[in-house]
Amino acid sequence: MPVTLKDVAQRAGVSRSAVSRTYTQGASVSPLTRAKVEKAAAELGYAPSALASALATGRTKLIGLVSSNFHNPLFLEVFDRFTRGLQERGLRPLLVNLSGETDPDASVRMLRQYSVDGVIIASSTLPASFALAFKEAGLPVVHSFGRWTSAPATHVVGIDNVECGRMAARTLLDKGYRRVAFLGGPSDATSTQDRLAGFRDTLHAAPGAEMSASFAAAYSFDAGRAEMTRLLRAAAPAQAYFCGDDVLSIGAISALQDTGFDVPSDVGVIGLNDMEIAGWDNIALTTIHQPIEAIIEASIDLILSTIDTPDRLPEARLFPCRLVERRTLRA
């Protein structure tokens, strides 16, 4: 039979309410009583029930962690950091896969059924309307990697994707490339749209520069390889490509190499994110570093503070990116 709170109280020689207070955050209990309870619990192998605690406090400590791109290896790091960060704060992540989802209503219903205390949307492709739907349902919500705006309807934490596009364009121009191309993710993703906007505006202002744009079906290796293969069948490659994501870049490089082009001697490639695989010696991708750890830390801080203060005003937190030079652009 499972060990109960009553069993611990009898072993410790204290009341059941004393045991309950010992495991209730912020409750008053003497050091002597706490020591007795913890000793008895250890001897009996007792652990407090999360369900019972939720019934008593009205909080489940469940945080819905919502994403829509499980094909991108970057999100292994994102999920790892999010789950560890939440667990270190005594919270429990509930992972929700929204790949291919366009209507937030079903997700809102599901997370309300689980009585989550809050929701973190970890996606650069889901629109702001997803986060707003959770807010309108009365759930504290933070949109991580979302589209920055000076007047957000919900909390947003991420990067300036327009500036990242500008940074990529300046880097290619500084290295002498003039006939360049943008190979983005899905055309309806806000991250793709913003990265293209910054890239295009900077190149249009540069004398003698030419650019084209195309879009992959997803932020994935296969999609990047497929789109680059299609481009190479239609025409000669550009001098250099800004791929709107590292995994797209690696797929594009694979297609270029299979077609007989050398990177960077024949074609240059720059990515975005600085995922772990980008630094592997056989890839050595020049890319723009996105501060994922800082974004996740800020997202967790915001969801916790919003749970405690539900009526706080929406906030947009923006983190700067930086260029990481490796070996996929010419010197």
Question: What pLDDT sits at residue 54?
Answer: 52
Tokens of 89: 């704060």
Give percent of the chain above pLDDT 70.
94
Give pTM, 2 decimals: 0.82
For 202-225, write each residue's pLDDT tens digit: 999 999 999 999 999 989 999 999
pLDDT at 281 exceeding the cut of 50: yes
Which pLDDT belongs to residue 63? 94
Tens of pLDDT, residues 154-188: 999 999 999 999 999 999 999 999 999 999 999 99
pLDDT confidence bin for 100, thresholds 50/70/90: low
Percent of the chain with pLDDT over 90: 65
Q: What is the reported pLDDT for 57?
A: 54
Question: What confidence tens digit (pLDDT) does each residue in 37-63 have?
Answer: 889 888 888 777 655 555 455 578 899
Give yes or no for residue 266 having a pLDDT over 50: yes
Q: Does 73 have pLDDT greater than 90?
A: no
Tell me the C-alpha distance between 54 and 275, whole Å.
Answer: 37
- Is 196's pLDDT higher than 60? yes
Confidence of residue 132 (pLDDT cuts 50, 70, 90): very high
In the prediction, which pLDDT does 55 show?
Answer: 47
For position 101, what pLDDT does the model report? 66
Mean predicted confidence (pLDDT) in 245-268: 97
